[in-house]
Amino acid sequence: MAKSVYYCAASLDGYIAESDDTIEWLTGYEGSVDAPEGLEPGPMAPGGSYERFYESVGAVVSGSVTYEFILGHTPPSAEWPYRGKPYWVLSSRDLPVPDNATEDVHVVSARVSDLIDDMQSAAGDRDIWIVGGGNVASQFADADLLDEVHVTVVPVVLGSGKPLFEGRLQGGPLKLLGTTIYGNGMVELRYTRPRT
């Protein structure tokens, strides 16, 4: 069965976007690893893990703000970035769907517990990617449908913004699956969440 995976980047203090939903702190980030003399920083991957992760994705889900951000950053003449992967947008509003994504994008006003069977069926033997935001990830967690959290920590402190989750996760601590240190100073943390 498809796993539900919240895969995103967050600032060091746990925000996925500024208060106005911008992410220049992420898209404009340039960093490196600076280990003290005589101390090796450990094994490092050359870049991000997006391509590897995306290969494991069979279906996508997000909230309306994330979806509108994607629409706003995808030129009308460009191919829909998630082509061939069913994409659910959780929204009570009518939202536009690009002409080249009418078969892929489903704008729905429903609870994740009412949609999960369709998402899992569409994902097949691949995973459901919870793109964001924190509200959607929290809905999955509250419905006991969140399996894993993969967060790439960016060494930037925002002080305020949109949080990684909108509330406390029930069910005890997450279990660490693994970490990856990247040559740009980012660190990916992968956790599994025990189902209740």
Mean pLDDT on 165-189: 90
- Domain map (residue ranges) of the chain: 4-14+58-192
Reply yes or no on whether the pLDDT at 35 is more than 90: no
Residue 108 backbone phi and psi in degrees, to 5: -135, 150
Per-residue model confidence (pLDDT) at position 47: 57
Per-residue model confidence (pLDDT) at position 190: 96
Alpha-carbon distances, residue 130 vs 3, 44, 137 (angstroms): 10, 26, 6
179-191 per-position pLDDT tens digit: 988 888 899 999 9
Any idea what the Cα angle at residue 16 is, between residues 195 and 173, rounded to 5°? Answer: 25
Per-residue model confidence (pLDDT) at position 170: 86
Reply yes or no on whether the pLDDT at 158 is more than 80: yes
Reply yes or no on whether the pLDDT at 174 is more than 70: yes
- pTM for the full predicted model: 0.91
Packing angle of the helix pair 112-123, 134-142 (nearest 10 deg) = 100
DSSP 97: -
Given this structure, which CATH class describes domain 4-14+58-192?
alpha beta
